[in-house]
Chains A and B, each alone.
Chain A
Amino acid sequence: MAIAAGIEDLNVYGGSACLDVRELCVHRGLDVARFENLLMREKAVALPCEDPVSFAVNAAKPLLDAMGEAERARIEMVVTCTESGIDFGKSLSTYVHHYLGLGGNCRLFEIKQACYSGTAGLQMAVNFVLSGTSPGAKALVIATDLSRFALADAAAIQEWAYSEPSSGAGAVAMVVGDAPHVLQIDPGAYGNHGFEVMDTCRPGPDTEAGDADLSLMAYLDCCERAYRDYARRVEGADFRSSFAYLCFHTPFGGMVKGAHRHLMRKLYKAPPAEIEADFDRRLGPSLAFGQRVGNTAGGSVFVGLAGLLESAELAGPCRVGMFSYGSGCCSEFFSGVVTPDGQRRLRARGIGAELDRRHRLSLEEYELLLRGEQVIRFGQRDVAIDPGAVPAAWAALQGSGRLVLEGMAGYHRQYRFV
């Protein structure tokens, strides 16, 4: 019998602090009415005591805590997927593996390809399971990213303008194995499209550069071509009828809406009213959590999957089409099956309730964090973090059982659970 493979369990961590982006738009003097078409509400903002490691561990720990000792011992691969790396050599996965208390018989590594990284990690893990080289083994795949840019002056803020409200933070942890309750991957059903383009990049640890138009165009081109490659491989595939729901990489909701419209026009010359209704029905549910964390980069398409399972009403098993895009660029369209059982498991994680518990930053607190004076910089050797930079957020973290960053000692990151 063929092996099933996919996501057994999944959790989203959206940080411990967030900002209302409508307030931010008013504050920056952006056109609020037009802004609302872009479908953003809140974004997660990382505190100085949070980094991609703490985000990853805080996403994964609830999954590990729910597993028995024997099951945990079968995790034989930890893949971190990120464009927010903290070292050129040592991967985030080594810290994650340590703080989760996993066994030594484990492959530990990190994957980078902008926002495509999470899908690359998932496919790596799925193929590990499908290969049958270690029957019953599981992989832990964690996409973790945060945007933290040092904005020195007003000119930098002006340049950032429309991407500031969408730049978020978040981690998605997935246990991948042969009992895929949350998403059973359709084996061999995928399509890719990639080419070299300079649309957005992170040329330094605290900088992001790019061209919004070029990035949007590359995303649209990839969405169409990756889907066409999927359709070439999968007999009888039809974008309109094969997928009950869709989850796309979500820099912000408006971009997903644009890509969906592009595809529906290109493939079917569909009229605007049909496109709008189809978007609301098949893609609307996937935006539930993305609207509350902002762009989570590598994890974003899986934040979409979690949102779908949280907010859609599944009557039975159904197929989901997933589209992942990472600047630079590489993309993939793939699919899998979700069930009411998986939905029940996902809802039991209480992701929405955790997001509700975040500290809501005032604009003064946000701008203090934006200056980044308390944040550990890439390459620093010894430094202690002042945990009280935003006292109310720090107080809210106490007793949460979450991992926080305390500082660096000889380049070694120091963490503790609070």
Chain B
Amino acid sequence: MDRDSILAIVIGQVREVVPDLEAQPISGGDAMADLGINSIERSEIVMNTLEALGLDLPMVQTHGPRNLGELADLLHAKLKRT
């Protein structure tokens, strides 16, 4: 799966977990915290994305990205390794 498809899955999970953001345009440059997504919702988005990608990783290994694009990059790299 390419990186942009992964980003699309991440953004899809953001919209599913936080329906309030319906009218908000979201792109790879956005950080979840800046979109007003709280820490519990952030972890749920990551968890759901891992599940959608079939990646079984410790959650702490997904820590570090500063925006959705960087998260997609990280997951893309992890997926290539499996």
A→B interface (CB under 8 Å) = 31, 34, 37-38, 162, 197, 211-214, 216-218, 220-221, 254-255, 257-258, 261-262, 265
Contacts and interface: CB of A to CB of B under 8 A. Distances in A.
Interface size class of B (residues with CB under 8 A): 10 to 19
Nearest to A255: B40
A258 B43 contact: yes
Nearest to A35: B38
A380 B60 CA distance: 39
Interface in B45-81: 46-47, 51, 58-60, 62-63
Contact of B47 (A38, A212, A220, A255): A220
Interface of B: 36, 38-40, 42-44, 46-47, 51, 58-60, 62-63
Given A218-B60, A265-B47, A213 B42 contact: yes
Contacts of A213: 39, 42-43, 63
Nearest to A254: B40
A217 B40 contact: no
Given A197-B60, A221-B58, A221-B59, A37 B47 contact: no
Given A262-B47, A265-B47, A216 B40 contact: yes
A213 B51 CA distance: 19
Contacts of B42: 213, 216
Majority DSSP secondary structure for residues of A touching B: helix
Contact of B59 (A34, A162, A217): A217
A292 B68 CA distance: 36
A137 B47 CA distance: 46
Contacts, number: 49
B60 A258 contact: no
A211 B64 CA distance: 10
A214 B60 contact: yes
Contacts of B43: 213, 216-217, 220, 258, 262
B59 to A, nearest CB: 4
Contacts of A211: 63
Majority DSSP secondary structure for residues of B touching A: helix
Nearest to B42: A213
Nearest to B20: A34
Contact of A258 (B36, B44, B51, B62): B44
B36 A31 contact: yes
Contacts of B38: 34, 37-38, 162
A265 B39 contact: no
Among B36, B39, B47, the most chain A Cβ lie within 10 Å of the Cβ of: B39
Q: What 8 pairs across the A-B complex have the smallest Cβ distances?
A: A217-B59, A212-B39, A221-B58, A258-B40, A217-B60, A214-B63, A216-B43, A220-B59
Contacts of A216: 39-40, 42-43, 59
B40 A38 contact: yes
Given A162-B39, A254-B40, 6 more contacts: A162-B38, A216-B40, A216-B42, A217-B62, A220-B59, A255-B40
Contacts of A217: 43, 46, 58-60, 62-63
A354 B43 CA distance: 36
B40 A221 contact: no
A262 B47 CA distance: 8
A400 to B, nearest CB: 37
Contacts of B36: 31, 34
Contacts of B46: 217
20 contacts: A34-B36, A37-B38, A37-B40, A38-B38, A162-B39, A211-B63, A213-B42, A213-B43, A213-B63, A216-B39, A217-B46, A217-B60, A218-B60, A220-B43, A221-B60, A257-B40, A258-B44, A262-B43, A262-B47, A265-B47
Contacts of A262: 43, 47
Contacts of B60: 197, 214, 217-218, 221
Contacts of A34: 36, 38
B51 to A, nearest CB: 7
A165 to B, nearest CB: 12
Among B44, B51, B62, the most chain A Cβ lie within 10 Å of the Cβ of: B44
A216 B59 CA distance: 9
A218 B58 CA distance: 8
A254 B39 CA distance: 10
Nearest to A225: B58
Among A220, A261, A262, the most chain B Cβ lie within 10 Å of the Cβ of: A220
